[in-house]
Structure 1
Amino acid sequence: MLGLSFVSVSASAADLENTLYLDLKDGRVTIELRPDLAPAHVERIKTLARQGFYDGIVFHRVIDGFMAQTGDPTGTGMGGSDLPDLKAEFSREPFKRGTLGMARAANPNSANSQFFIMFNDGDWLNGQYTVFGRVVSGMEHVDKIKRGEPVQNPDKIVSLMVAADAQ
């Protein structure tokens, strides 16, 4: 029993609270949330995920070489949740492949439920959109999301859940 530590058990429980499982048609994507960068946005995503808000929502805007956007229950890019919009939480965290950012309208404080996952680096977005997480595994499944703007017969989120709730 020498050398065993129980610190890792509590650390992994905290990690599960800030981890999302995004199930797509091709498999599971694991997302590390970043409450250190965007606490209000992380809380919003977790709240909506726990309500089942994202389950079945389409990827309505998917641009090859750029990003896949989802989170609009209308599927048009114009909708959101019934919750109030969020104030921007911009950071110095760069938009790299696998980064998750919140979509918004022209007003920086208009993010609500829509988010996007970067296919490639997008440095021109740095400091303009809120970064709230990153893909840590399963990016190959994100790469298989059907492209289009708008997407014809779009892929859907099968399920989005907080990992701590999947236990």
Structure 2
Amino acid sequence: MAEIKDPENTILMELKGGTVAIELLPDVAPEHCARMKELARDGAYDKVVFHRVIDGFMAQTGDVQHGVAGGSIGRAGTGGSDKPDLPAEFSKLPHSRGTLGAARSSNPNSANSQFFINFKDNDFLNGQYTVYGRVISGMEHVDAITRGEPPADPDVMISVKVAADA
């Protein structure tokens, strides 16, 4: 496990293989970071499936409305939280391997609760999707997430917590 320098801005995501530590970047995307911490503290991300996992691209999750394991994942990926959508917080940060990006519709200001983790450098996303975190340890567990759109037997985020609360 990497050293956690700022527990209030570090997310601990428990996957089947182990813990993934994600450093949030509130200086870059304060509203997206605040939303992730709010939903994590509410337990909204617990047991939510990875509904879109594309080999060599990224793993997407965070549909807290439709993506809870045990329910129908047929509509996973179409919803968000009961909170308002977030304005885009684009920056010069690249979508490099291990970065966290805000998933959204074609409307740049439609990000809500869904996010993706890049499996590799995806420079074609730069400036089009908000980057608001980066994996600092446990990327091997992200790499092991079951692929599919949606996966036949999707992996889940067992729990998602703010490190300061863990």
- TM-score w.r.t. structure 2 length? 0.91
Structure 1 CA distance for aligned equivalents of residues 34 and 4 of structure 2: 17
What are the ranges of 5 or more consecutive residues in structure 1 without an aligned counterpart? 1-11
Paired position in structure 2 for 1:141: 141
Structure 2 CA distance for aligned equivalents of residues 14 and 27 of structure 1: 20
* Maintained 8 Å contact 2:4/2:10: no
Q: Do residues 29 (structure 1) and 6 (structure 2) align? A: no
Say if 1:13 and 1:141 are closer, same or farther in 2 by CA, change over 3 A. Answer: closer
Structure 1 CA distance for aligned equivalents of residues 80 and 29 of structure 2: 19
Query: RMSD across aligned C-alpha pairs, in angstroms?
Result: 1.2
Structure 1 CA distance for aligned equivalents of residues 85 and 153 of structure 2: 29
Q: Do residues 66 (structure 1) and 57 (structure 2) align? A: yes
Paired position in structure 1 for 2:113: 113
What are the ranges of 5 or more consecutive residues in structure 2 without an aligned counterpart? 68-75
**One-letter amino acid of the counterpart of residue 100, structure 1:** L
Shift of 1:13: 8.8
Structure 2 CA distance for aligned equivalents of residues 143 and 87 of structure 1: 29
Paired position in structure 2 for 1:129: 129
Which runs of 4 or more aligned residues in structure 1 lie more than 6 Å from their structure 2 counterparts after TM superposition?
none
**One-letter amino acid of the counterpart of residue 40, structure 1:** E
Paired position in structure 2 for 1:51: 42
Paired position in structure 2 for 1:99: 99
- In the alignment of these two chains, the number of paired residues is 155
Larger radius of gyration: 1
Structure 2 CA distance for aligned equivalents of residues 133 and 154 of structure 1: 23
* Maintained 8 Å contact 2:51/2:151: yes
Which among 27, 30, 41 is matched to residue 39 of structure 1?
30
**One-letter amino acid of the counterpart of residue 30, structure 1:** A
